[in-house]
Amino acid sequence: MAAVVECKVGVAPDAVAAVEETMAALEEPRWMVLEDRPSGRAWVAGYFDSRIAATAAWRRLAAALDPAWLALGEAPRPVKPELRELPEADWRESYKAHFKAWRCGRLHWVPVWERETYRLPPGDEAVWLDPGMAFGTGNHETTRLCCERLVAFATQFRIRGSEFRIGGNDPEPGTLTSTLSHPKVESAVPGGLEPSSVKKPAGMAGSTSVSGVIPTEPATLTPEPRTLNPVPVIDAGCGSGILAISAARLGLGPVVGFDNDPDAIQVSRENAALNGVEDRVEFFTGELPSGLAGRQATLVLANIQADVLRAFAPSLVGAVAPGGWLVLSGILAGELAAVQADFGAAAPGWKTDSRVLGEWADLRLVRAAAAGAGARPVR
């Protein structure tokens, strides 16, 4: 039976937040931080399909970490990770214990092992996740902020099967409400350890916590029919593809996603196939701004660290079609003002609003519709 290699390194407890921020910026879904609060201990842990892959991934992560974060009270020095093989069955069962389905509005993110039993309310859609090795869970605050915006976009633009209208009454900045469901996180590791990057929001207006979903209709892998009018979506820095795939499951399209990591693109394509949307999402290797060249979309998503967003603000703004949205995440709350200033200068007159979830923030910019564009159904 195949084994999974666990790569684990101790972390100074007071450095946990800094380590989490660094991992979020790297967009590597295989790493997590485990904390044992009673003992005051913490670890970085990752799970890989071989010792070679684990060692290579650790070298990349370690290069981005301050050695003092791993010193544990001693003088900083090179740290050798602890590697151990876990039978695949043990790994899968332990992961299932703490990863639960979650939802925002009519879109649900569901672990693939629940595909045969999970039930969706009529009209809802599911994105199937296999987070054990390649697909992120979507639990990080930056991803959740983007997912909420994506569902709000589909609702605002009235995407329902074959109907698409653009225009209508746009909510005033700061008035968007959330129907995000936050999962109950249960420990999957002896001693009460849990991934500290899975956090409930603090002080987020309009958010609600829902304990479960009432079974009504069986889930299906059939995507919602594409709208007759195209609703283009760009996912810049797509990582494992969760946002682009979610857009396709909501009936948006055409959808493109790009990332500068060829491995991420391969993973994204595999995840699109898992969700039956491989013919509706195009993934390609690209950088900012070249990945945006010659492209414009009604929805542009960019979950990327703040300094990169700021550096390419004009290119991101230029990729938004008239009447469209630009949704930015990957922004620490303390960085929000600087990001707002740069994008305000790049997009004068655009409507903006932002929200904070935990330590992270997002920013939405809305471009005015072209003259004469109004709400109309597609017949």
At which residue do the structure tokens 């925002």 appear? Answer: 104
* Contact criterion met (CB below 8 Å) for 312 and 237: no
pLDDT digits (tens, 9 = 90+) for 104-130: 888 999 988 888 899 999 989 999 987
Residue 137: its pLDDT value, please?
Answer: 58
Residue 41: its pLDDT value, please?
Answer: 83
CB atoms within 10 A of CB 334: 10
Reported confidence tier of residue 298, pLDDT bands at 50, 70, 90: very high
Select the highest-mean-pLDDT range: 36-40, 266-270, 284-288.
284-288
Residue 329 pLDDT > 90: yes
Residue 205: its pLDDT value, please?
Answer: 30
Work out the average pLDDT over 42-66. 88
Neighbour order of strands in the sheet with 360-366: 281-285, 255-259, 233-236, 297-303, 320-332, 360-366, 351-357
Neighbour order of strands in the sheet with 125-129: 102-104, 107-111, 125-129
Tell if the pTM clears 0.75, that is, is over it: no
Q: How far is CA 170 from the centre of its chain?
A: 24
Residue 217 pLDDT > 70: no
Q: How many angstroms separate the CA atoms of 278 and 269, rounded? A: 7
Q: How far is CA 15 from the centre of its chain?
A: 23
Q: How many angstroms separate the CA atoms of 139 and 56, rounded? A: 25
Paired tokens of 98: 């703490």
Q: How many angstroms separate the CA atoms of 71 and 46, rounded? A: 19
Q: What percent of the chain has pLDDT over 70?
A: 69
